[in-house]
């Protein structure tokens, strides 16, 4: 396989926030390397060889959370579903550090963490390898001129669709009405079917839902969550 030149990708959002606590620095130094699927890094995998998911998860089904924030939902799902392997992608290093602390406390061992752009992860995930994906309270980019930065655009949805199996489930949660609009326009175009049949299907959370701190903030501020479920065609 010939060496692949890394594509130019604009990154939108924060990489770091408040100063990390000493404990968070320790989590990053002691835990992150062992939990990261190293083949995502361009420096270690310039040819973009596919991840060996069997080696990572022992043949278990693979789930993916895109932008896991503080990691509470990711750890919740890992604890409930020991029979699956879950990869979380998040470029915000403070969120990564928070997740690592939660992993230690929960003692789950079926998680892997990509501390970077999900698009780099899509490069190395094998075709049709993901059976469930979560996009929960993504950055809304509310200004119209910034809507192209949202995840629900072809730049992100096309590679996501490639790595998801036929029949795989995509969950999207957001409290922004215009993000709902764009999601319902763009996700079906990428090869997904919206599964809602009645209002409760998007107004009520999933049975295994854990309300995140982002959702709690939205509720305090009077915004209404929407829970959208799609199936890969």
Residues annotated as part of the active site:
139
> CA–CA separation, 113 vs 131, rounded Å?
17
3-class SS at 20?
Answer: coil
∠109-110-114 over CA atoms, to 5°?
Answer: 105
> Which regions of 117-163 does DSSP assign to beta strands (E)?
130-136
> CA–CA separation, 62 vs 59, rounded Å?
9
3-class SS at 141?
Answer: coil
∠69-44-88 over CA atoms, to 5°?
Answer: 20
φ, ψ at 221 (rounded to 5°) = -90, 5
In a 13 Å sphere around the CA of 43, the CA atoms on its Cβ side amount to 1
């Amino acid at each position: 396989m010939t060496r692949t030149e890394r594509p130019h990708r604009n990154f939108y959002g924060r990489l770091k926030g408040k100063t990390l606590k000493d404990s968070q620095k320790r989590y990053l130094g002691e835990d992150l390397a062992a939990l990261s699927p190293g083949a995502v890094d361009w420096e270690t995998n310039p040819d973009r060889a596919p991840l060996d998911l069997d080696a990572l998860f022992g043949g278990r089904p693979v789930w993916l959370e895109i932008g896991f924030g503080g990691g509470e939902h990711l750890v919740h799902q890992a604890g409930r579903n020991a029979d699956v392997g879950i990869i979380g992608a998040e470029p915000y290093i403070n969120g990564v550090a928070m997740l690592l602390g939660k992993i230690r406390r929960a003692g789950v061992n079926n998680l892997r963490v990509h501390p970077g752009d999900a698009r780099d992860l899509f490069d190395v995930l094998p075709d049709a390898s993901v059976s469930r994906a979560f996009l929960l309270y993504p950055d809304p980019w509310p200004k119209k001129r910034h809507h192209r930065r949202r995840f629900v655009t072809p730049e992100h949805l096309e590679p996501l669709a490639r790595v998801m199996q036929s029949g795989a489930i995509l969950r999207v949660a957001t409290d922004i009405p215009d993000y709902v609009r764009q999601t319902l326009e763009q996700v079906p175009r990428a090869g997904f079917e919206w599964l809602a049949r009645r209002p409760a299907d998007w107004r009520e959370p999933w049975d295994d839902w854990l309300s995140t701190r982002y959702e709690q903030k939205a509720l305090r501020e009077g915004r209404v969550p929407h829970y959208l479920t799609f199936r890969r065609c």
